[in-house]
Amino acid sequence: MSTPPLRKDAAQNRHRIIETARRYVDDGKSLQLNDVARTASIGVATVYRHFPTPEALLETVALPTIEKLLRRAEHSLAEDDPWTALREFLAAAIETMLTDPAVPPVFAAATDALEVTGDCKRRLATAFAELLARAHAAGVIDPGITESDMIPLMCGVAYAANIQSTLDPTERATLGLRYLDLLLTGLHRP
């Protein structure tokens, strides 16, 4: 069952709320619904009607980037070379984590406020598992490396790049990709 389209004014309010939240996240500000309402010059009740929790708003802000990463995962799954496919996906994941500050807390959350977020995260996990399994089957990655190993390693790469606080997000992403390359060089079995 689909929901009816929003009235024009409701859609405009929703858009203003999301834009304001995006600025808050990009500026490293805490995402409090009352503050977002005040900054967006929209009533608090209107914000809560669209987003009952800060988590729901954060997921909405992060969703376009997460969906883009999911499309990249699907593209990687179509790649014939298992090593290239895995490497491309992991590079896209690192770049995503380092350029959109809304994404890491959404990925780290134990629960999802929106069903679509949970669905995207499950689809990403499935794609990653398939990419890793293909790399194992082709013998191009250390057979002892598991999904459970790769997740903290990827977090470590992102953390190492993020501690360079003087760099802008694009520069941190470039550094993160360099660190990822170093990590994957150690895991690769030519």
Confidence (pLDDT) at 175: 93
Predicted TM-score (pTM) of this structure: 0.89
CB contact at 8 A, 69 and 124:
yes
Confidence (pLDDT) at 6: 60
**Domains and their CATH numbers in the chain:** 1-52 (1.10.10.60), 53-187 (1.10.357.10)
Confidence (pLDDT) at 164: 80
Confidence (pLDDT) at 8: 76
Strand partners, 188: 141
Task: Spell out a b/e string for 54-72, using b for 16 or more CB atoms within 10 Å of the CB, else e.
Answer: bbbbbbbbbbebbeebbeb
pLDDT tens track for 29-76: 999 999 999 999 999 999 999 999 999 999 999 999 999 999 999 999
Cα 115 to chain centroid distance, Å, stands at 15
CB contact at 8 A, 62 and 104:
no
Give the chain's residues under pLDDT 50.
1
Confidence (pLDDT) at 158: 93
Confidence (pLDDT) at 98: 94
